[in-house]
Amino acid sequence: MAPYKEVRAEILSIGDEILYGQIVDTNSHWISQELDKIGVRVVRRSTIGDNRESILEAFGNAEKRADIILMTGGLGPTNDDLTKPLLAEYFNCEIALVPEALEAVRNFFEKRGRELTPLNRLQAHLPTKCTYIPNELGTAPGMWFHEKGKIWMSMPGVPHEMKKLMSDHVIPKIKEVFPLPHIYHKVIKTVGIGESWLSELIKDWENKLPNHIKLAYLPSLGQVKLRLTGFGDDMNSLEDEVEKEIQKVKPLIDKYIYGYNKETLEEAVGRLLKLNKKKVAFAESCTGGYISHLITTIPGSSDYFQGGLIPYHNVFKNRLLEVDDKILKEKGAVSEETVVLMAENVRKMFDADFGLASSGIAGPGGGWAEKPVGTVWIACAQKGKTFTKKLQLTQDRLLNIQLTGVAVLNMLRQSIEGKTE
């Protein structure tokens, strides 16, 4: 389809602290995603220690494999940090003061009321063959080399500094240098259905997808993302084509779709509550505050989140949410009857339109034959009607909490949309 030569990239992360497991390298994964979005193929990722021979060897091998070499780390002002002198050595050039870079470092410190040390001043000395790329969020500048048709870019290892350099400078410059295919991504976010069932529902559509539109299944914790990627020459027609495919697949799985692209389930639920001017409250037993936490991570959630109660023992389910002692004794705390009362009464307690409740055996202890670990009841109460659902989850406590959270938010979504099963 595309008349483009494949553009290949290699990502190098530099630092003993990564190899020894002292810090997690989250940069490489993020860079992979950003390059994938613009149609650059990552062919290798390597982590190298703070060691001259290793770094030079990695430079040499990367140059053989890739058109673009992006590296992070090894840029601090101390002696351990070798990236800058080794880039100068590799490209056979001097290191010299760049007045613009010195100005930037000086400003950086001035703004923070700190003095420029001689060590900091060294950060403005750069290999003469590089283009200086300003780092607005830190003191180690980016360095861009365009040598023998290949691009080399060195960035600091601090994630937010690297991300800003990538987004503001590196991605736009890569697009200038290399003819890349137009790529259009769209992600369909689904919840409440497993990957294999989902693929069964959409297999006929999937088999008929044109060659230049690819589908990927990305499952995670109770959810599956469907990522459609179109490649082509004309961005407008490409976007049209992908959107048309989405309109075709949508009716097949409509009740599982909660959003698109980056929207999370808690954001989608918040959007729906806001749109419908509805308010929500939670009574959480086995989830212990997790669902309220998810909801309140979203800015502006006070518009629709009224509050929550965590009655972790029967006495509080009874005293604060009026669950009859008789029910607690005869049916148990993990029962349909209990979650119905919890949901209905937390709704009233917090003047909400929707009241949701969870009660279950998160584990690892507390299970028995009739109600093994992983047994969870959830409920969603509105004025005049209440839905319930029994879940049979896993042996893992944290996973049970998280999967219950997803199920409760999905139940709320379905109730707001009037699409309860």
Contact residues toward a second copy (CB under 8 A) are: 18-25, 28-36, 42-49, 54, 61, 216, 218, 284, 287-293, 295-297, 299-302, 305-313, 315-316, 320, 349-351, 362-365, 397-398, 401
Question: What phi and psi values does residue 65 have, to the nearest 5 degrees?
Answer: -95, -30
Cis ω for the linkage preceding 364 (within 30 of 0): yes
Q: How far apart are CA 332 and CA 194, in angstroms?
A: 30
CB of 251 to a second copy, least distance (A): 27
Nearer to a second copy, 27 or 127 (CB): 27
For a second copy, the closer CB: 169 or 279: 279
Q: What is the DSSP string of 31-77?
A: HHHHHHHTTPEEEEEEEE-S-HHHHHHHHHHHHHH-SEEEEE---SS
The H or E element containing residue 118 is helix 118-121
**Shorter beta-carbon distance to a second copy: residue 178 or 305:** 305
Compute the least distance from the CB of residue 104 to a second copy, in Å: 21
Work out how close the CB of 308 gets to a second copy at its nearest, in angstroms, rounded to a whole number.
4
Nearer to a second copy, 218 or 275 (CB): 218
Residue closer to a second copy (CB basis): 260 or 312: 312
Is there a contact between 295 and 274 (Cβ–Cβ < 8 Å)? no
| Comparison of 128 and 261: residue with beta carbon closer to a second copy | 261
Token pair, residue 330, equals 């005869």
Q: Which is nearer to a second copy, 64 or 385 (CB)?
A: 64
CB of 93: closest distance to a second copy in angstroms?
27
Which residues are CB-contacts of 282 (< 8 A; sequence separation ≥ 6)? Answer: 291, 292, 295, 308, 309, 346, 355, 356, 357, 358, 408
Closest distance to a second copy from the beta carbon of 418 (Å): 26
**Least CB distance from residue 63 to a second copy, whole Å?**
14
- Least spacing, CB of residue 351 vs a second copy, in Å: 8
Question: Are the C-beta atoms of 37 and 185 separated by less than 8 Å?
Answer: yes
Comparison of 248 and 319: residue with beta carbon closer to a second copy: 319
Cα(158)–Cα(32) distance, rounded to whole angstroms?
16
Please report, as a single letter, which amino acid is at residue 83: T
Say which amino acid occupies 119: L
For residues 54 and 276, which CB has a smaller minimum distance to a second copy in the complex?
54
Residues 157 and 166: their CA atoms lie apart, in Å, by 12
Choose between 31 and 75: whose C-beta lies nearer to a second copy: 31
178 vs 304, beta carbon nearer a second copy: 304
| Inter-residue contact 206 to 215 (CB < 8 Å) | yes
Contacts of 99 (CB under 8 A, 6+ apart): 124
Cβ neighbours of residue 314 closer than 8 Å, sequence gap 6 or more: 323, 325, 328, 333
195-207 helix and 235-253 helix, angle to the nearest 10 degrees:
130
Question: Shortest Cβ distance from residue 398 to a second copy (Å)?
Answer: 6
The closest alpha carbon to 24, from 116, 115, 156, 159, belongs to 159
Name the E strands within 166-222: 182-191, 213-220
Return the structure tokens found at 275.
């749109």
Least CB distance to a second copy at residue 311 (A): 5
Query: Minimum Å distance from CB 20 to a second copy?
Result: 5
Tell me if 359 sits within 8 A of 334, measured CB to CB: yes
**Rounded to the nearest whole angstrom, what is the least distance from the CB of residue 80 to a second copy in the complex?**
13
